[in-house]
């Protein structure tokens, strides 16, 4: 069986979609899947076997993303799909239309993963436009695109329910990405603390992710004010970059938290990020629009307990209350829990023990097996056949 994935983003652009594609690209090989990537060219990336870069230009007002040419993407996808059995779309932009057109022209089933809750996302980036109008347009577009597909993969139960409320009638399959346990279990917390000048015994809360408005990081800053009333030396480390950075630094100063918040930018996922997780006493997360919340599982895999809001995609992870705690959606209440955790860590020791055990239930290997089986079902191919997965981005 041969599968073609289509997306508008990939590394070096760091986000959840890129991480998901790379995770499945790596783990599907264990199920006889050969992977080929066709991705945007962000700069002067070194050519690699199996990876084809499609030329693109910067998105206006967004230095991180690239807009590939419409015709170039359509040509690349159609050429790559010639010997494939199924097309898997990863993003709803040019990739969606290129993948759908190629699939219909070649008579192939087309499936997509719905990664991003655009209903909540767009209002942060188009503020002059009324939010109600934006939400209506996002719902209509999502409904139209999803109903053009043969099946939709969603990373969480909450996302499936949201799409059902939009009127999506295509078959939907809940299948999260999964995490590589070994990658996050061997970090050196002391190495990280020495590098960034953090005291060995200073209590450290950690956020990892894109520094964007929809991540609700401002909520964490407000919660930190409350937490420091209980544990005055508490530190919040924010690992990531993004468009909300300037606003968050202004908020940090306004709240008098200059000595309590450390922005450290993006980290290499091979060593620096595992070290960062290992250095933390607790992972904190307040996004209300997350589709799955993989960073929660990454932290748990490193043995770090999680304090997070149970909203949208994080609910599936947090519901069993294993290795994690979900305070009310209120910064003072959240900060109270965080402060008590950092002041009395021995009382929460069971969360440290539970976290890595629970994370093993969400491994990338298990999710790749489920995806391979789903591909077989959708294309009527036998599971035992050797797959070749072509990923066009």
Length of the chain: 393
Digit-coded pLDDT (tens) for 70-105: 999 999 999 999 988 899 999 999 999 999 999 999
From first CA to last CA, the distance across the chain in angstroms is: 20
Q: Do strands 51-59 and 62-68 pair parallel, antiparallel, or not at all (unpaired)?
A: antiparallel
pLDDT tops 70 at residue 376: yes
User: Which of helix, strand or coil describes residue 87?
Assistant: strand
Cβ of 265: how many Cβ atoms within 10 Å? 10
* Higher-scoring residue by pLDDT: 181, 335: 335
Residues 5-57 have pLDDT tens digits of: 899 999 999 888 998 999 998 898 888 777 777 889 999 999 888 788 899 99
Comparing C-alpha atoms, which of 124, 138, 130, 115 is closest to residue 243? 124
CB 262 within 8 A of CB 252: no
Question: Both tokens of residue 34?
Answer: 């050969």
Edge-first strand order for the sheet with 2-6 is 62-68, 51-59, 33-41, 387-392, 2-6, 86-89, 110-113, 151-154, 172-174
User: What residues contact residue 137 under an 8 Å CB cut-off, 6+ apart?
Assistant: none
The pLDDT of residue 385 is 44
| CA 144 to the chain's CA centroid | 24
Q: What confidence tier does 381 reach under pLDDT thresholds 50, 70, 90? A: low
Q: What is the pLDDT of residue 386?
A: 41
Rounded CA separation 210/243 (Å): 9
φ, ψ at 63 (rounded to 5°): -70, -15
For residue 390, the cross-strand partners are 4, 36
Average pLDDT, the chain: 91
The CATH code belonging to domain 2-178+363-392 is 3.40.50.2000
- DSSP-assigned letter for residue 43: S
More confident residue, 125 or 235: 235
Instruction: Give the model confidence (pLDDT) of 194-208 as tens digits.
Output: 999 999 999 999 999
Q: Which of 52-66, 112-126, 263-277, 362-376 has the lowest mean pLDDT?
A: 112-126
CATH number of 181-361: 3.40.50.2000
pLDDT at 36: 77
Helices (H), the chain: 16-27, 70-80, 94-106, 118-121, 131-147, 157-166, 181-185, 189-196, 217-230, 245-254, 272-279, 294-301, 314-318, 331-343, 349-359, 364-379
- What kind and span of H or E run contains 265? none
Closest CA to 278 of 181, 180, 188: 188
**Residue 128: count of CB within 10 angstroms of its CB:** 4
**What pTM did the predictor assign?**
0.79
- Please state the rounded mean pLDDT for residues 140-146: 96
Domain limits, CATH 3.40.50.2000, in the chain:
2-178+363-392, 181-361
d(CA 165, CA 66) in angstroms, rounded, equals 31
């Amino acid at each position: 069986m041969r599968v073609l994935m289509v997306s508008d983003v990939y590394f070096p652009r760091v986000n959840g979609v890129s991480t998901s594609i790379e995770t499945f690209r790596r783990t599907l090989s264990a199920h006889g899947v050969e992977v080929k990537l066709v991705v945007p060219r962000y700069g002067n990336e070194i050519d690699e076997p199996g990876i084809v870069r499609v030329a693109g230009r910067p998105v206006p007002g967004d230095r991180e993303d690239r807009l590939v040419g419409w015709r170039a993407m359509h040509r690349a996808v159609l050429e790559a799909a010639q010997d494939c059995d199924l097309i898997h779309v990863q993003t709803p932009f040019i990739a969606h239309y290129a993948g759908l057109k190629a699939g219909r022209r070649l008579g192939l089933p087309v499936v997509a993963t719905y990664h991003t809750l655009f209903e909540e996302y767009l209002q942060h980036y188009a503020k002059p436009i009324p939010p109600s109008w934006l939400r209506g347009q996002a719902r209509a577009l999502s409904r139209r695109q999803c109903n053009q597909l043969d099946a939709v993969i969603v990373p969480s139960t909450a996302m499936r329910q949201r799409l059902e409320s939009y009127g999506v009638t295509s078959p939907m399959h809940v299948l999260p990405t999964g995490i590589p346990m070994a990658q996050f279990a061997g970090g050196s917390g002391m190495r990280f603390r020495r590098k960034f000048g953090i005291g060995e015994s200073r209590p450290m809360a950690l956020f990892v992710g894109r520094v964007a408005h929809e991540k609700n990081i401002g909520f964490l800053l407000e919660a930190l004010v409350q937490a420091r009333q209980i544990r005055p030396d508490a530190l919040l480390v924010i690992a990531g970059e993004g468009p909300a950075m300037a606003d968050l630094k202004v908020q940090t100063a306004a709240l008098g938290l200059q000595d309590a918040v450390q922005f450290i930018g993006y980290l290499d996922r091979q060593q620096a990020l595992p070290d960062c997780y290992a250095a933390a006493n607790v992972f904190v997360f307040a996004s209300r629009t997350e589709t799955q919340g993989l960073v929660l599982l990454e932290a748990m895999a490193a043995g770090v307990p999680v304090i997070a809001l149970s909203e949208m995609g994080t609910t599936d992870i947090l519901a069993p209350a294993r290795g994690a705690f979900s305070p009310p959606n209120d910064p003072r209440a959240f900060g109270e829990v965080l402060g008590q955790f950092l002041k009395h860590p021995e009382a929460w020791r069971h969360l440290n023990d539970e976290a890595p055990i629970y994370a093993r239930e969400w491994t990338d290997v298990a999710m790749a097996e489920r995806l391979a089986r789903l591909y077989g079902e959708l294309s009527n191919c036998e599971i035992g056949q050797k797959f070749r997965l072509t990923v066009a981005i």
